[in-house]
Amino acid sequence: MKKACFLLVMLAIAFTSNGQLLWKVTGNGLEKPTFVFGTMHYAPPSMIDKIAGLNQALENCDVLIVEADDSDGTLNGISAPRDSTLDKLLTPEECNVVKAALEHYFGAGGVNFDEMSQLIPAFLTVGLEFLFTQEVFPDFKMWEGGVDDELVRRAKKSGKPIDSFETTQDQYDIIEKAVSSLSLKQQALDLYSKCTDINYINKLHDEIVAHCTTYKNQELGTNNTEDNPDENILINDRNRNWGDQLVSKMADRCCLVAVGRGHLRGEKGLL
């Protein structure tokens, strides 16, 4: 689930209204309140203890609801076909450029290039942003997961049931739909181009650091959707689906809903 969630949140980051991260939903016949928390999948678990009311919400809830059930552990949807891995899509020289960039960016997270190169190039393009998050969140470790994973661990430790809106395969299918307009070859060339474009890297750095800093300050951030054609696939369609599910899930239970903060914002947000 960590890989899929990481990709989805980074794809959705461009859809990123100021506001707090934890919300309480009451009224309209609800027997119990529900709490909605906006996560950042690559913020460290230590953020949980800094957000007023979050631990109390977890302690008092009847169920924790997260984006995806990771029980299937599948990699379908982000694993490239054997004849379409990076070394098959790029020249040796191009592949070496990408390898150097990925080892630089992912090295801090303990991720091996040979492992990463078996995934679809679009995933790797998004993954270039990883190192920049550590400038703001140096305590985040990919193998430990972020605030989502820590909430799940704490819920399990206290015997709380865990529910979800999607399966891991659902998330991979969403990823595939979002990137289907580009062939794997085009994705690989786009990845290579970005690895060699210092202006792109610098702009990306500034954007990611700004988003992480906003989250560290416990704010939802601002919407910026004009230029991203995948907003409906990654955000709006999923929000409608989750909202429909949540109506019944919270009817007679106190729920703590933990989903990426980008899903809470705007007129089409989950809130």
12 pLDDT more than 80: no
Condensed to tens digits (0 to 9), the pLDDT of residues 209-241 reads: 998 999 999 988 776 544 455 678 888 899 999
In this predicted structure, which of 5-19, 58-72, 76-90 has the lowest mean pLDDT? 5-19
| Residue 111 in tokens | 């991720």
Condensed to tens digits (0 to 9), the pLDDT of residues 171-180 reads: 777 777 776 6
The residue type of 71 is S
Q: Where are the domains of the chain?
A: 2-263
Could you tell me the strand order of the sheet in which 63-69 lies? 22-25, 34-39, 255-260, 63-69, 162-167
| Residue 247 in tokens | 């109506």
Instruction: Determine the Cα–Cα distance for residues 60 and 44; give it in Å rounded to an integer.
Output: 23
Q: Which residues pair with 164 in a beta bridge?
A: 66
Q: Which residues pair with 25 in a beta bridge?
A: 34
Q: Which of these, 146, 93, 99, lies nearest to 118 by C-alpha position?
A: 99
11 pLDDT more than 50: no
Which residue in this structure is represented by tokens 């980051």?
A: 13
Condensed to tens digits (0 to 9), the pLDDT of residues 101-133 reads: 877 766 655 566 777 777 778 777 766 666 788
Instruction: Determine the Cα–Cα distance for residues 54 and 99; give it in Å rounded to an integer.
Output: 40
Instruction: Determine the Cα–Cα distance for residues 53 and 103; give it in Å rounded to an integer.
Output: 39
pLDDT value, residue 34: 95
